[in-house]
Structure 1
Amino acid sequence: MKRAVFPGSFDPITRGHENIVRRAASIFDEIIVAIGSNSSKKSMFSLEQRKQWLEEVFNDIDNVKVDAYDGMTMDYCKKVDAGFMLRGVRNGSDFEYERTIAQMTKFMAPHLETVILFTDPELSAINSTVVREILRNNGDVTQFIPSSIHVTAP
């Protein structure tokens, strides 16, 4: 079985995240969208809220599951028997960062392959950090998040 983990904080999920998962769903037998705890980030939204949004967004795709984990992503991939880590890239800066992570992962977990998909061009400017900033200032983020969910600042 070709199982992939798509890790992230999804704080909140964006249309870019959705784009990557929907396109990758035809490549893998199963994708686990995995909410990781990031020690360098303080989340705006609770884990429960983010999990609920992900389940709503992907409830129409049978081979996409949602989960949460602590620790290193490669350890989680091993735990769920995933041979692939799926990553989304918006631009050159993202690519350089993801390349470094992929190379370190390959060194530490040779069994794990990183698959990188580029977001569709019209979504390349969207990122969760900017969405959170818009929310903090009472802005409208509907064009940046999946249409099936409603996000307001906590």
Structure 2
Amino acid sequence: MKIGIYPGSFDPITNGHLDVIRRSAAVFDKVVVGILINQSKKPMFTLEERVKIVQEVTSQIPNVEVKAFSGLVVEFAREQGASVLIRGLRSNTDFEYELQMAQINHDIDKEIDTLFFATDPRYSYISSSAVKELFMFHQEIGSYVPEYVVQKLKEKETSHE
């Protein structure tokens, strides 16, 4: 069974992320969306909320699992029996960073490779950070994230008022 890991913070998951998940699910027998516990970031959604949101928006893709992890992604990949890390590329800036990370990860574990998916041009300018900022300024974000994410962002906003 060929297993791929798609790691990220997914705070929140965007349509660009979903595009990469769908496309990678067509390539791999199983895709594990690994939601990173990143101590250096202050996420909008808790880890539990992010896991639930990603599970909900990927529920129609049968070979996708969602799991939280901390530590090195190569260690998480080993635990999951995966040999490939999945990364989306929006720009040449992404490529430079992701290439460096791929080389480091491969140096740590020679059995782990990275597969890059070029982002669909419709999503090349979308980022979770931009979505959060637009939402904070009451801008329409429905074309950038699934409707379920819009609902969760509105709930989060209402609970902080």
- So what's the TM-score if we normalise by structure 2? 0.91
In 2, distance between residues paired with 1:145 and 1:98?
23
Aligned length: 154
In 1, distance between residues paired with 2:152 and 2:140?
9
In 2, distance between residues paired with 1:2 and 1:73?
17
- 1:26-59 per-residue CA deviation (whole Å, 9 max, x = no partner) reads 1000000010012331101111211111111111
1:80-119 to structure 2, matched below 5 A, reads 80-119=80-119
* Counterpart residue identity of residue 65, structure 2: K
Structure 1 residue 135 displacement after superposition: 2.0
- 1:1-46 per-residue CA deviation (whole Å, 9 max, x = no partner) reads 1101100000000000000010111100000001001233110111
Q: Does 1:20 align with 2:25?
A: no
Structure 1 residue 138 displacement after superposition: 2.6
Q: CA RMSD in A?
A: 1.2
In 2, distance between residues paired with 1:118 and 1:151?
28
Structure 1 residue 148 displacement after superposition: 4.4
* Counterpart residue identity of residue 118, structure 2: F
Aligned to 1:138: 138
Structure with the higher helix share, 1 or 2: 2
* Counterpart residue identity of residue 111, structure 2: H
1:4-153 to structure 2, matched below 5 A, reads 4-149=4-149, 150-152=151-153
In 2, distance between residues paired with 1:79 and 1:6?
14
Structure 1 residue 79 displacement after superposition: 0.9
Structure 1 residue 81 displacement after superposition: 1.0
In 2, distance between residues paired with 1:115 and 1:99?
10
